[in-house]
Amino acid sequence: MLTRADLAKYPFLLEAQEYIRELGFTIEDIAQPEFSPVLERAERRLEEALAKGKIAQGVPDEKTEILSFPISNLILSLTGEERARRRFALAEAKKAYERLKLEHPEKLEQIATKTFNWRIERADRQIGKRLYEFTITLPDYLRNSIHLKEPKWKLSNRIVDHGRVYTTREETARLLEEEVRTRITSRTTNPPSQLPPLLQPRVDQAKGLIIKWLGLPTNYELPKVPMPEAMPPCIRNLIDQLAEGKNVAHMGRFALAAFLSNIGTQEDEVVRLFKPATDFSERMTRYQVEHIAGKRGGRTKYTCPMCTTLKTHGVCYKPDEICTTIRNPLSYYKTKARTLSGRGPKRGPN
Amino acid sequence: MDQTRDPTKQTIQRKFQEYYLSPAFRISGPQRMEEREYGFLLFKEKFMVRHRAFKNTESLLGAVRDLTPQHVYFSTAYYQDPTLPMEQKGWHGADLVFDIDADHLNTPCKPTHDSWKCKNCGTSGQGMAPKPCPKCKNDKVEEQTWLCEKCLQEARGETEKLLEILYSDLGIDPQNVRIFFSGHRGYHIHVYTKEMVQMEEQERREIVDYVLGVGLDPNLHDLEETKSSGLKMVSGPQMGDPGWRGRMVAGMYDLLGQPGDHLGLSASQAKTLNEWNHEALFTKQFWNTVRGIGLSSWQMLIQKGVERRAARVDTVVTTDVHRLIRLPGTLNGHTGLLAVNVPLERLDQFDPFTESLAFQGSMKVDVKDAPSFRLQDSTYGPFKDETVELPTAGAMLLMCKQRAQPVN
């Protein structure tokens, strides 16, 4: 059974929503004087998430702690800033993890089952060096583990038995952290049709905080002119292979064309790179390059495949230092281009 | 109507039409058939008719009869409206499908029945085609493949390994699994489990990597070396442990049961291992019982054991959630054989050269060059520049494989 203290620790839970519903609050109540600690806490939650990427311990009053969470969410959604929402979700999720990993297994079980619909079971089984306290189903595991990069999360490195994956208590908490992050990120708060006058200044203030901590929403994502020296090893390798007249398999060609089109390379230039290929056909290549760029056919602009895909299909080549920090060749390019052009790391004027 | 001039192609198409119009042609249609996209590759100019949908088996049968396609496909995916362009179809999930194809298996018999020729410089050779051409580095290497019993047995072996992983690790209920012989060089394994159907590309990739053993690190399965009072002790997973832990040990058992191979070890290590009673793999402390075999040698042996037990599936087919795949019950244009359902319990006895034949009667053909092959209980060939009368199924096989032409 979850206590009110638990709901204060984990305000994203279904039970916390029920609790608030039972209190019978409406958005107009925000104007009440006794509500001001909640507003304050909601703002601090946001500011901490934006400034530090983490949220410290909550306020002692549990009710305030619980109520402030949906208010933070509401303010965030009214700012319409996706990047701020992602940062907030991550901070809340991290905070949850720090506490979840210390919880009693029964509590983890209840949270996983009730809010996230996991089919989790107690295992309490020692296999090799580790004590596995739980097993979870394959879909529950994969939905969350695919976001985690460490090799230990790779399914091939897990104990998988009859559709269930063995997890330790700490690992279960870590997978739940992902679940929390997804839940907060994708949460759709329907803003009330009439915004209480009190809230508008808070929203404006939040907008200010976002700019203060995350900077102006710049269009500086990629350099305007393609920077070949910022390309990741896999893409350089593909270009070299083609230049030497070696055969490059379909996935490699697709990745190259999609990568180049995404960094703003002119189609003529992309087509030219494919010229040394022995099976080169200008017409076919041009068609496909334009298709990938979204100028033909379904008009979908394709993005470059993820590193994991490229690994599976053998396109990944001599990953370097930067590669350990990214999941898509385009992010590599973004990161390196930023460093090369002397703009430094993205985050913050601080 | 028929614009193709190639008499072989015309004959094949006519025979396909006869079959599709005969009462023998029946299909049961995939489950939730109205939510699938269908595609037909026509004989004429290799034109693909896509984005078709059918409410029932009769209308699907009708379309196959009208079009007489060279190949018939359906989507592994379920859509809200399969007839719309891809991004508007409304994806509702896709069966988890594995493709095991002898094309990807480097079987020892390939040099005896497969050959290749570079269209650019004329270099040719036996076995699996090198790409690009080793001489002129051109990509235009033409393959001539054959469907041989040994290759198909190998593909069936991979299918059995896959099923073992699906059942005991992934917990798939055999009731939700169908196996189809593709009518050419391999098997398709379809999984309909509700929760698998919902998985997206990245999750499917993890599953593919799992059955292939890709990214598997023995150290993360507790293989390690510790020092106690100056002695190096190796410990690791045990036979009978769940998942890959037990399987990698079992894989080593398979390896060591086969004499001959050096397994990448030094001659003396190989000799030691050869003399070692590998039944010890069933005991708990075996990691320390072979003199001269330490952590790094075990790592190598495990890697080979994993390769041995991994199911060599095609990586693209499983991860593509919009894939079109051959419709069971239809003719494979590469062979004239039927793609057929293989009952799970009969996989080990399934005989593609008996159970996927569509054509009756006999036919005379001019054979350019063909390895020997079997149909039911009779063996035919090898043939070289001769005119022979063959069962129609055999004649069709040779014509589809471009190794023969119809007489007159």
Q: How far is A146 from chain B (nearest CA, A)?
A: 7
CB atoms within 10 A of CB A5: 12
**B278 confidence band (pLDDT: 50, 70, 90):** confident
Out of A44-53, A101-110, B123-132, B370-379, least confident range: B123-132
Give CA–CA dist A6/A4, Å, rounded: 5
Helices (H) and strands (E) in chain B, counts: 12, 20
**B346: Cβ–Cβ under 8 A, 6 or more apart, which residues?**
none
* DSSP secondary structure of B189-220: EEE--HHHHT--HHHHHHHHHHHHTTT--GGG
**Contact of A175 with A165, CB cutoff 8 Å:** no
The domain of B46 spans 7-100+157-207+315-358
Give CA–CA dist A175/A185, Å, rounded: 16
Please report the pLDDT score of residue A267 as a whole number.
85
* Chain segment B321-348, per-residue pLDDT in tens: 999 999 999 999 999 999 999 999 999 9
Over residues B120-149, the mean pLDDT reads 80
Please report the pLDDT score of residue A77 as a whole number.
86
Does B319 lie in the same domain as B232? no
Out of B209-223, B250-264, B293-307, B376-390, least confident range: B250-264
**Contact of B300 with B321, CB cutoff 8 Å:** no
Please report the pLDDT score of residue B5 as a whole number.
72
- The verdict on residue A221 lying in a domain is no
Task: Answer yes or no: do A313 and B137 touch at CB < 8 A.
Answer: no
Over residues B309-317, the mean pLDDT reads 94
Does B183 lie in the same domain as B91? yes
**Cβ-based interface (< 8 Å): residues of A facing B:** 127-129, 137-139, 142-143, 145-146, 151-152, 154-164, 166, 245-247, 251, 277-279, 298, 300, 306, 308-309, 311-313
- The verdict on residue B105 lying in a domain is no
Task: Answer yes or no: do B131 and A247 touch at CB < 8 A.
Answer: yes
Task: Answer yes or no: do A278 and B87 touch at CB < 8 A.
Answer: no
Out of A183-197, B104-118, B197-211, least confident range: A183-197
Which chain B residue has the Cα nearest residue A279? B139
Question: Which tokens go with A248?
Answer: 């490059």
In terms of pLDDT, which residue wins out, B266 or B97?
B97
The CATH number of residue B21's host domain is 3.90.920.10
Does A208 lie in the same domain as A282? no
Using a CB-CB cut-off of 8 Å, the residues of chain B touching A279 are: 138-140
Q: State yes or no: pLDDT of B384 exceeds 90.
A: yes
Give CA–CA dist A35/A43, Å, rounded: 13
In terms of pLDDT, which residue wins out, B142 or A156?
A156
Does B256 lie in the same domain as B386? no
Does A285 lie in the same domain as A164? no
Please report the pLDDT score of residue A225 as a whole number.
74
Task: Answer yes or no: do B244 and A146 touch at CB < 8 A.
Answer: no
Q: Does B344 touch chain A (CB under 8 A)?
A: no
The single residue listed with the structure tokens 């009518």 is B183
CB atoms within 10 A of CB B405: 17
Does A146 lie in the same domain as A92? no
**Among B353, B367, B371, CA closest to B399:** B367
Does A206 lie in the same domain as A155? no
Q: How far is B30 from chain A (nearest CA, A)?
A: 24
Q: Which run of H or of E encompasses A169?
A: helix A169-186
Does A73 lie in the same domain as A37? yes
Q: State yes or no: pLDDT of B355 exceeds 80.
A: yes
Does B380 lie in the same domain as B250? no
Which chain A residue has the Cα nearest residue B241? A127
Of A138, A156, A277, which has the smallest distance from its Cβ to B215's Cβ? Answer: A156
**Among A260, A262, A267, CA closest to A235:** A260
The single residue listed with the structure tokens 């404006």 is A204
Does A287 lie in the same domain as A241? yes
Q: How many domains does chain B have?
A: 4
**Among B79, B86, B30, CA closest to B56:** B30
Using a CB-CB cut-off of 8 Å, the residues of chain A touching B237 are: 128
CB atoms within 10 A of CB A283: 8
Of B139, B202, B221, which has the smallest distance from its Cβ to A157's Cβ? Answer: B221
**Among B72, B64, B71, B75, CA closest to B35:** B75
Q: State yes or no: pLDDT of B294 exceeds 60.
A: yes
Q: How many domains does chain A have?
A: 3
Question: Which tokens go with B317?
Answer: 């087919």
**Among B352, B309, B307, CA closest to B162:** B309
Does B86 lie in the same domain as B62? yes
Mutate to test the interface with B, among A119, A126, A146, A155 (most CBs of B within 10 A): A155
Using a CB-CB cut-off of 8 Å, the residues of chain A touching B198 are: 139
3 state DSSP class of B130: coil
Question: How would you classify the pairing of strands B38-41 and B115-118?
Answer: unpaired
Phi (first) and psi of residue B3, to 5 degrees: -95, -10
Residues of chain A whose pLDDT is less than 70? Answer: 188-193, 216-224, 278, 297-299, 342-350
**A34: Cβ–Cβ under 8 A, 6 or more apart, which residues?**
none
Using a CB-CB cut-off of 8 Å, the residues of chain B touching A163 are: 169-172
Give CA–CA dist B359/B352, Å, rounded: 14
Using a CB-CB cut-off of 8 Å, the residues of chain A touching B203 are: 139, 142-143, 146
| Triad A314, A320, A324: Cα angle to 5° | 85
Does A273 lie in the same domain as A236? yes
The domain of A125 spans 102-183
**B175: Cβ–Cβ under 8 A, 6 or more apart, which residues?**
none
Over residues B263-291, the mean pLDDT reads 82
Mean pLDDT over the full length of chain B? 90
Q: Does B199 touch chain A (CB under 8 A)?
A: yes
* Chain segment B20-40, per-residue pLDDT in tens: 999 999 998 899 999 999 999
The CATH number of residue B403's host domain is 3.40.5
Which chain A residue has the Cα nearest residue B88? A298
User: Between residues 105 and 164 of chain B, which touch chain A (CB distance below 8 Å)?
Assistant: 120, 131-132, 136-140
ipTM of this predicted structure: 0.90
Does A232 lie in the same domain as A320? yes
